Amino acid sequence: MFQKLSGVILKWWGWKSSGYDTRALKKVIYAVAPHTSYKDFFLGVLVRSERGIRSNFIGKDSLFKPPFGFIFYWLGGHPVDRSQHNNMVQAIIDVFNKNDHFSLAVAPEGTREQVDKFKTGFYYIARGAGVPIVMVRIDAIRKEMQFSEPFWPGDNAEKDLAFIYNHFKGIKGFVPEKSIL
């Protein structure tokens, strides 16, 4: 029911999703960019539902506080205390290793503000957990979320991260001036 309703809402909103069908992947990291607006979250939830994807996400802990925090938990969220410097990468690798099915959607920029490079935690999580990265472009010009083929990180982080960055280069999000250069 939610899947069809999400498809209707996306169509009404003028958006569509395209690309690789990820439902057969048991474990995956979705790198979603550019992240320029709060609207990205709602669009992502709709596309996730419309495609029949089960995924989790991490968010700043303040989102998970009452009165509306339960919604973020219900949607698959896990709070992160960004004031603490702990080994988040290893903690998430451990979650992947403990579960037969787990997927994580992340915004590689780590913020809705414009950045000139990605944070690299998502890459090292994928590499450490031995899971692929599916790059999801939020193309607000075409009103389309585009899913790439799975990308398996190798041993050359610099080369891999350049490939990932270039995949998103030039794509304009909801707030074009905050999109990746």
- The answer, yes or no, to whether residue 162 has pLDDT greater than 90, is yes
Q: Select from 181, 177, 175, 133 the least CA-distant residue to 154.
A: 133
Q: Kindly state the average pLDDT of the residues 54-61.
A: 77
Q: CB under 8 Å to 116, separation ≥6 — which residues?
A: 180, 181
Q: What is the mean pLDDT of the chain?
A: 87
Q: How many helices (H) and strands (E) does the chain have?
A: 6, 7
Q: Residue written as tokens 């973020």?
A: 72
Query: Quick one: pLDDT at residue 82?
Result: 60
Model confidence at 79, in pLDDT bands (50, 70, 90)?
confident
Q: For 90-129, write each residue's pLDDT tens digit.
A: 888 888 898 898 899 888 876 666 667 788 999 999 999 9
87 three-state secondary structure: coil
